[in-house]
Amino acid sequence: MNLTKVWHQEAFQGTHRKKGYFEGWYLKLIDQTRTAVFALIPGVSIGKTKEESHAFVQLINAVTGKTEYFRFAFDAFSANHKKFDVRIGGNHFWDGGIDVDLQNETTSLKANLRFENIEKYPTSLLHPGIMGPFSFVPGMECYHGIVNIRHTIVGSMTYNGALLEMTGGEGYIEKDWGKSFPQAWLWMQANHFANPNSSFMFSIARIPWLGTSFTGLISFLRTDQGFFRFATYNGSKVRSLKMEGNQIKATLKSSTHVLSFTANYARGGILKAPKNGMMLREIEESITAEISLELYDHHGNMLYQDASNRAGMEIAGQFDY
């Protein structure tokens, strides 16, 4: 593990990886009216041979559920090693915008967007990212990072010939890197609450470690009242988690607060996910899920309540609580 890069998790981490490795960035794009809802995932897959390795850009139109996988030669990928700045062919992705021209037999997307009012994830000496001290642990199957908690969008894009005005919209960027996605996980993220400054992210995963496994939690709620972390590394617990059909109800407990939420999955699209560095798995993701949440102090006093109907959500595998 390159400890210098731990402090630059936005940047490309796989410089010296030769096989069995993936890295991808997830960019959510939602217009001001919340009718154009897209996600772009640029990344790289390093297999056992150069022929198996390639770069890619995945696209999901959340409204229709249509997804596309644009495959590029491995050599088409280049990345900055100190910040998020990735180029795949003629496509450019960075924390301040995208310039994209993607086309296949059925889908075309051209986008020139700039991101403003960028809010980054707060870090400290022992917490260089969302994984906290686990960021320093070598050899984990998958690492997770947050690039932009939120930002506003300026510009437009053309999707299948239709011009979409994105100015005034809002976005989010996160990333994953490592060998494989976990065997089972739940993930959700939302910015579009009644309170425009709020942001929420939740993920639990079954994590293999030293011949066994444990369930790891990373979650935060950002409101005007503060930044609230719920994570394995700070002693937070999943007090309850219930899955019925497309609905999840959960309660998280930290040393100072309790967060309860209900999430309803909406129609999603099929994306490719990594297994031993290769994009062999298929998962379904929605960006139009609904989340309602409540934050309490330990005396049971409600501090915050809100809801979003433009949440990203993935359910893979099963968790028993």
Q: Does residue 187 have a pLDDT over 90? A: yes
Q: Is residue 321 part of a domain?
A: no
Number of domains in the chain: 1
Q: Is residue 154 part of a domain?
A: yes
CA-only gyration radius of the chain, Å: 19
Q: Is residue 82 part of a domain?
A: yes
| 86 burial via Cβ count (<10 Å: 0-12, 13-18, 19+) | buried
Q: Is residue 264 part of a domain?
A: yes
CB-CB contact of 192 with 166 (8 Å): no
Which of 146, 190, 174 is CA-nearest to residue 292? 190
Per the structure, the complete domain to which residue 250 belongs is given by: 3-316
Predicted confidence band of residue 125 (pLDDT cuts 50, 70, 90): confident
Dihedral sign of CA atoms 280, 84, 164, 287 in order: positive
Q: Is residue 215 part of a domain?
A: yes
Predicted confidence band of residue 100 (pLDDT cuts 50, 70, 90): very high
| 106 burial via Cβ count (<10 Å: 0-12, 13-18, 19+) | exposed
Give the residue-averaged pLDDT of 88-94.
98
Measured CA to CA, the distance from residue 222 to residue 218 in angstroms comes to 14
* pLDDT of 2: 60
Give the residue-averaged pLDDT of 288-311.
96
Q: Is residue 201 part of a domain?
A: yes
Which of 15, 21, 100 is CA-nearest to residue 57? 100
Q: Does residue 114 have a pLDDT over 60? A: yes
Q: Is residue 51 part of a domain?
A: yes
* pLDDT of 208: 73
Average pLDDT of the chain to the nearest whole number: 93
Q: Is residue 153 part of a domain?
A: yes
Which of 264, 243, 212, 208 is CA-nearest to residue 319? 243
